[in-house]
């Protein structure tokens, strides 16, 4: 049997076998021998290989994105980014300044190297913004992880990040830190602010802080909150803030989603992104859905800035531009849920 296998591989590789002390072959014409004795072997092998490939493909499709990354050991496009349908576009648009007000960003992560252009710690006024909550780094990765053949790919490559630490290691923040963070972001003249957190109750102080950012020409994107079908967090409830709820891979709202004003939905369950330890982890919640919409809006803003009549902070103008360029996808006739796709 082993001799037949060797003859077969010799035939398909066009190798002439020579008798030696290990193999006592008689002189034959390999092609004729193979066709006569093994005419069904190639079809059988083809069917077996096709079956194996199909099994492996189905196995791969059932994996979550972290398992896919570990299995392939190369850069993958996550299900969340695939939903946005866009190709990776780099260095051919205006650089958009995005402030992430969160727990800090590990800017030494291989997928975030070179992305962070400014850092501010609202707790002590320094530029030390260690992410000890493992939250802000994930948000940053969703928005703009490097296209470098490793890990994951962010929504938009043409971004400059401004890292503002306003959340401590317990995940808590207050209005004072938020106010300081927004004031700093205004001075940096950022285009977008991502708030992947919120407050359960409204306050005049919070509204004033947000109004100040918006009046400065900044578009504010905020997570709806993980309230499990209770009321939406603030400032996501404000009319001048872009509110984002989370969906799963079936485009259903996740169990933790909030009720209330929803401008967009975006992927927010089993989201693979960069983590503060320098690796990759799965994350779930409206915090990460917010990051997808921030990335999507930043992509379209890069084009919108070159259009006639552009003004900083013109969210309605930006939204009309996105819609006119087929960038809005509505997939629920019942509640008109929509997300943003990129080219």
Provide the β-strand partners of residue 219. Answer: 192
What would the two tokens of residue 293 be?
A: 């919409």
- Which residues are known catalytic residues? 102, 135, 287
Q: Scanning the structure block, which residue is given the tokens 């929803």?
A: 262
Q: Kindly report the three-state secondary structure assignment for every residue of the chain.
A: CHHHHHHHHHHHCCCCCCCCCCCCCCCCCHHHHHHHHCCCHHHHHHHHHHHHHHHHHHHHHCCCHHHHHHHHCCCCCCHHHHHCCCCCCCCCCCCEEEEEEECCCCCCCCCCCCCEEEEEECCCCCCCCCCCCCCHHHHHHHHHCCCCCCCCCCCCCCEEEEEEECCCCCCCCCHHHHHHHHHHHHHCCCCEEEECCCECCCCHHHHHHHHHHHHCCCEEEEECCCCCCCECCECCCCCCCEEEEEECCCCCECCCCCECCCCEEEECCCEEEECCCCCEEEECCHHHHHHHHHHHHHHHHHHHCCCCCCCCCCHHHHHHHHHHCCCEEECCCCCCCEEECCC
Torsion of CA 258, 260, 264, 269, to 10 degrees: 10
């Amino acid at each position: 049997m082993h001799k037949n296998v060797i003859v077969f591989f010799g035939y398909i590789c066009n190798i002439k076998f020579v008798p030696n002390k290990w193999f006592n072959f008689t002189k034959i014409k390999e092609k004729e021998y193979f066709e006569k004795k093994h005419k069904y072997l190639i079809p059988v092998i083809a069917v077996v290989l096709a079956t194996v490939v199909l099994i492996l493909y189905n196995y791969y499709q059932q994996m979550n994105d972290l398992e896919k990354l570990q299995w392939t050991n190369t850069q993958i496009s996550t299900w969340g980014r695939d939903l946005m349908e866009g190709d990776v576009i780099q260095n051919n648009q205006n650089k958009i300044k995005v402030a992430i007000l969160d727990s800090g960003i590990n800017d030494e992560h291989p997928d975030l190297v070179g992305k962070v252009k400014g850092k501010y710690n609202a707790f002590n006024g320094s530029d030390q913004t260690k992410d000890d909550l493992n939250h802000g780094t994930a948000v940053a990765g969703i928005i703009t992880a490097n296209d470098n053949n490793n890990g994951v790919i962010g929504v938009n490559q043409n971004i400059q990040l401004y890292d503002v630490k306003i959340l401590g290691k317990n995940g808590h923040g207050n209005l004072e830190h938020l106010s300081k963070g927004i004031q700093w972001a205004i001075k940096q003249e950022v285009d977008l602010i991502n708030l992947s957190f919120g407050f359960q109750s409204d306050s005049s102080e919070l509204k004033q802080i947000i109004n100040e950012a918006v009046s400065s020409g900044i578009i504010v994107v905020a997570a709806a909150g993980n309230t499990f079908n209770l009321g939406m967090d603030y400032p996501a409830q404000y009319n001048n803030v872009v509110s984002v709820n989370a969906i799963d891979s079936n485009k259903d709202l996740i169990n933790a989603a909030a009720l209330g004003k929803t401008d967009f939905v975006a992927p927010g369950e089993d989201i693979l992104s960069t983590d503060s330890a320098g690796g990759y982890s799965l994350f779930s919640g409206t915090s990460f859905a917010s990051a997808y919409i921030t990335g999507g809006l930043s992509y379209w803003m890069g084009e919108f800035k070159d259009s006639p009549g552009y003004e900083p902070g013109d969210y309605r103008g930006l939204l009309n531009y996105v819609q006119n360029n087929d960038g809005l996808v509505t997939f629920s006739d019942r509640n008109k849920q929509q997300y943003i796709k990129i080219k």
